[in-house]
Structure 1
Amino acid sequence: VLFYNLDYYLDYPLDALKVWQGGMSFHGGLLGTTLAIILFARKYRLHLPAFADHVACVVPIGLFLGRLANFVNGELYGRISTVPWAMVFPDGGPWPRHPSQIYEAALEGVVLFGLLSFLFFKTRARRMPGVITGSFFLFYGIFRFIVEFTREPDAQLGVLSVGLTMGQLLSLPMMLFGGGLIVWARRRARP
């Protein structure tokens, strides 16, 4: 709503509530989830960085399932491609395309879950609250930025004037925030 079709939703604000019609972006959902985490932690007097680290560890499971649903629904497909595993999507015309939803399910779901689980269980990261959340932001941003090269740009936006898609543009501040959060958490944990 905020990032991909703001003008439409300013004209028809109640349509933003029609979640059954799609149109939900990860980046917008992330803002809402972040606000909910902050409010929940404040209400129950939880240490926000540590609580956010626990939440961040399981988010990739939802991302994995969401990207599989995108694949099954034939939405958010990739750009036209000649790779051997390219496939024709019902709404993508007669041309084979990258199954970018599968790439995202693998990177944002499986790989990110593995990385965050490793950090949580096999390193000292959980003793530095904020490192795992920062790693989520950093690596989600990197993975999304990369996969966007194979994903069909949003029809209403296309490729932006800077040569990036909206998904790539929104991933840049995520990477910066994630890297900054890691540095902050590590400095704060030093004796």
Structure 2
Amino acid sequence: MTTADVRPATADDVGEITRIQLATWRAAYGEALGAAVNSLAPEQVSASWAEAVEHPDTDVYVAVEGSATVGFCVAGIAPAPEVAAADGSLPDDAARTGLIASLLVEPRWGRRGHGGRLLGTAAAGLRRRGAERGIAWVVQSDSASLSFYRSAGWNPDGTVRILDTGEHTIKELRLTGTLDLRLDHPEPSDSD
């Protein structure tokens, strides 16, 4: 039986993280992002991931199944602009709020619990950093990711943001929830 696990990413994982991000974005967000997704330079994406893996305030994890890297997650204490209300005001727990900046599982490896393991591991890491709750931004049209986070008890908090890709605009919803997750049987999704 093949073993599935989550572990901290190292510099050796940057190539696979880049590959997974590009493949997943093209499959899941190609229409929404338009030509922008195809113009992403792998070298630039890799450089950004190399910085994230080495950054002391960021936790990057990879999901593996057997010898294959199948997904990743990046988390850290949420920067003030990410946790602020639409009017810019900060909640009382702003300094104790974690951000799941990205959680992706390559589509062909979905529905095997990798997303739940990644989120659970990231939540534990955020708790060790002093966070008490978490947030994540999800594209409003990404019903699979919304369902995945809802299955973990995370729900929209009413805050939205609009991203301009140059061709289209994308509406994202901010989800929030507890970091004390019980993901014994996470609901399958494309994020999973």
- TM-score greater than 0.5 by the shorter chain: no
Which structure has the bigger radius of gyration?
1
Determine which structure has the larger strand proportion and give its number.
2
Determine which structure has the larger helix proportion and give its number.
1
